[in-house]
Structure 1
């Protein structure tokens, strides 16, 4: 798909459609701002590569994707590649024709995936990934841990966390019953395995709060212990269901595994979505959350994120939050303030524009999109929370 404009010609090679979280939060949320700046966009999406896809289906998707790249990827000032690894010869050809090549990633592609790929596949991907990092004119990493790895290979690296839409969270949270709190979790099929790490803790804490519930927004329904399953409400994932789920959360949880793949991943989108909704989050460390929290604390914003590295910490944080509506309210305000100061798309767009367009930018920081078009220019100050 192409958009009209008079500015730089930008080819976006997206790692997935809008329904893919990383593409949505790293690319799509910036699109209105690029178009408002007159950037001439060409957009090519990769439709394959999902875990569990039949090999023949994945092969067909790759062939179709490569064909589009070969036919439509020429004549641009900048090529932004998100997560996928195109042939290095194609990258070099873009550069020989004068294009700036920017590579964006938010997964630890140099690590062995946690869902059971072979060592040979992981090693092959790491070699291709390292070559892409070295070839790119600029690399955008989704977290400080990912940036640290990229700097070993790449000539120029910046960090951008996932971008959130201001309008989506403008109304804050719906009013709920403070004596019937909802503990929420958002994830995909692969991340359901991490729930097992806190299943017993959740069941134990909820047992002491008879009116509390656990809400899982995911697909399919996760396999939980009988004790936790009896206290669980299930919302099949969609963008709308995700938004509605966050609006009902009083506390959010985000467990991770201990393997490098999990700890290095970028963004932790489900955490950021909950923070944006004014919800305090108890999370495993990793994915740049500690650095994000430290930066917010330096600005005087603290309390929205609580970190738990063992069962005792998980239980202590959850009991404290479920036992105090006032504590949830205070931390919810801090959560929303963190997002408004650093993570909304209109706040991050100038940095995104500089990182991607580089010298193709002709002056200024880009036009701010007005409130009548895509949301208010400055944070409205509402903190959400209940």
Structure 2
């Protein structure tokens, strides 16, 4: 069996964690793979036809091909698997209103032609159920051989940290009053941002960590508390909580906005806290800043939670089963019962 993966990009987090880290495990299971970055234009797709002819399954990650290409793939008898981990049927949190007819129609078209749909969380699954029935939920996992727990012990400075990209830095900007209030309360607290862009702060020292795949785990291990602020909107409901999974992977306690999958990943009082208002954010971060033993206890609990639910080693057998299953199925895409 051969699968051709069309991905967003080799350095894009969703591609690395939802496709590329699975490849060695797929190969061990007897699945041959080819990986191509998403083509640009019809000419780009035309150059991929040789690979398409040789494959059994076409796995499309997040983006949607033009209708002409989808029809061509189906005309060639190829099964299509579609994977997505964002609320791509809506506009993002920076938009004044979330609804987009263009996005909705593009999403609907993709799902109606897909033989298998893999969604990153239950909210995304519920949106996909409007247009398809063969849908599975698969979180964005991490590799436990790569994410080892941090070292706990006395520290001169407590690092409250966030990891992300330029597309979500606005969440950190919107919660700036929280970070600066913590800086005014505690002279031994800093804000660490692991990203390709940064915010500006006045009352709290800012540690700038330029993200790289080689250094991200090391940077995470240097944190003491992980944060994931969000807005309560449709776009945020589609977030798959990957920051939280990364924090738990290295043994960090987490403070997050209780939106979407965040409510499942973080159990208040066990591996972190929920915070809805600015005052709650300050309160919960204050509790963790003042209590090193609690940080360690919650961090270890988060690590155990991650090991139970969010590892590529646990998710790979599901991915393999689904891919092999749709590869064997004859005809009738999008018709089987939901998982």
The TM-score normalised by the length of structure 2 is 0.89
Q: Verify the 8 A CA contact 2:152 2:296 in the aligned structure 1.
A: no
- Asked whether the equivalents of residues 134 and 155 of structure 1 are also in contact (C-alpha less than 8 Å), the reply is no
Per the alignment, residue 42 of structure 1 pairs with 34
CA–CA separation in structure 2 for the residues paired with 1:317 and 1:72 = 52
Partner of 1:277: 250
Matches within 5 A, 1:1-386: 8-17=1-10, 19-46=11-38, 61-62=40-41, 65-115=44-94, 122-170=100-148, 172-220=149-197, 222-228=198-204, 231-265=205-239, 267-293=240-266, 303-360=270-327
Following the alignment from structure 2 to structure 1, what is the Cα–Cα distance between the partners of residues 256 and 265? 13
* 8 Å CA contact 2:82, 2:111 repeated in 1: yes
SS of alignment partner, residue 194 of structure 1? helix
Shift of 1:118: 10
* 1:139 match: secondary structure: strand
Q: Compared with structure 1, are the counterparts of its residues 359 and 131 closer, same or farther at alpha carbon in structure 2 (3 Å cutoff)? A: closer
Q: CA deviation at 1:156?
A: 0.9
TM-score (normalizing by structure 1)? 0.79
The number of aligned residues is: 329
CA contact (8 A) 1:44 1:68 kept: no
Deviation of the 1:204 alpha carbon: 1.3
Q: 1:115 Cα shift? A: 4.9
Structure 1 distance, partners of 2:210, 2:25, is 31
Shift of 1:357: 2.7
Quickly say closer, same or farther: Cα 1:258–1:359, change in 2 above 3 A. closer
Contact 1:354 1:361 in 2 (8 A): no
Contact 1:235/1:241 (8 A) holds in 2: no
Separation of aligned partners in 2, 1:193 and 1:64? 36
- Residue 333 of structure 2 is matched in structure 1 by none
Look up the SS of the partner of 2:58 in the other structure. strand
Distance in 2 (CA, whole Å) between partners of 1:354 and 1:130 is 25
Alignment RMSD (CA, Å)? 2.4
SS of 1:252 mapped into structure 2:
strand
Deviations 1:297-343 (A, max 9, x none): 9xxxx722422111122111101111101110110011101111111
Cα shift at 1:253:
0.8
Structure 1, gaps ≥5 residues long: 1-7, 48-60, 363-386
Q: Give the SS at the match of 1:226.
A: coil
Shift of 1:76: 1.9
Tell me by how many angstroms 1:116 deviates. Answer: 5.5
Residues 25 and 164 of structure 1 are in contact (CA less than 8 Å); yes or no, is this contact kept in structure 2? yes
Distance 1:176 1:92 in 2: 58
Residues 178, 325 of structure 1: 8 Å contact kept = no
Output one character per residue of 1:128-167: Cα deviation in whole Å (capped at 9) or x when no partner.
Answer: 1111112111110011111110011112111001021111
CA–CA separation in structure 1 for the residues paired with 2:92 and 2:44: 23
